[in-house]
Amino acid sequence: MLTWSDIIEFTLRGNPEPDNRLVKTDVEWKAQLSHDQYRITRGKNTEMAGTGAFCHSFESGTYHCVCCDTPLFDSSIKYESRSGWPSFTQPVKANAIKYEKDSSYGMVRVEISCNVCDAHLGHVFPDGPPPSGLRYCVNSASIKMVTNGNSKS
C-alpha cells in the first residue's frame, strides 16, 4: 500500500518504471480525444468541481486511462470525498501512476499522470481516509470505466 511518504519519494527520486510506454504526436492525440479530454489530459487543465461524469458514480469496475486504456483505479477503492472530483485511495498498481511536484497557481501539490502515456489525471493529497490516508483526486474526462470488458467514458 502506497503512503504519502512513498509519493514524496517518487517526486524527489523518480517514479517506478511503467510496464510499457505509449508516445503519440499532438495531432494524433487531438484526433483521438474529445475537446475536453484533450484539454485536460494533454493540456493539464481541470474540469469544474462536481461536473464530471464519475463524480457520483459508484458502479463496479475498473477506471482506465482515456488515452491509452491503462488500468489505473479499481472502483472498490473509490470514495465520496466531497471534493467535487472522483476520489480514490490507491492505484491498481504502484507503477500505474506518475507523480510530479506541481507549483502552479501559487501552491505546491503533487500532480498525477498516467505512467504509460503521460496523460494528466489530477492530483494526490495526504487527506484521504485510512489506512493509506491518500486522496487521488481525478478528472472524470481523463478516465473511462470498464465493466465486464465494456468501457464507458
**CB count in 10 Å sphere of residue 60:** 11
Catalytic residue check, 137? yes
Q: Of 67, 68, 117, 137, which residue is the catalytic one? A: 137
Q: Which residue has the cell 494526490?
A: 124
Can you tell me the distance from the alpha carbon of 153 to that of 151, in angstroms, rounded to the nearest whole number?
7
* Residues written for the chain: 153
Could you tell me where the beta strands, DSSP code E, fall in the chain? 62-65, 71-74, 78-79, 87-88, 97-102, 109-114, 120-125, 135-138, 143-147, 150-152
The DSSP H or E segment spanning 27 is helix 26-32
> What are the angstrom distances between the C-alpha of 27 and each of 22, 23, 66, 117?
15, 12, 16, 15
Catalytic residue set: 137
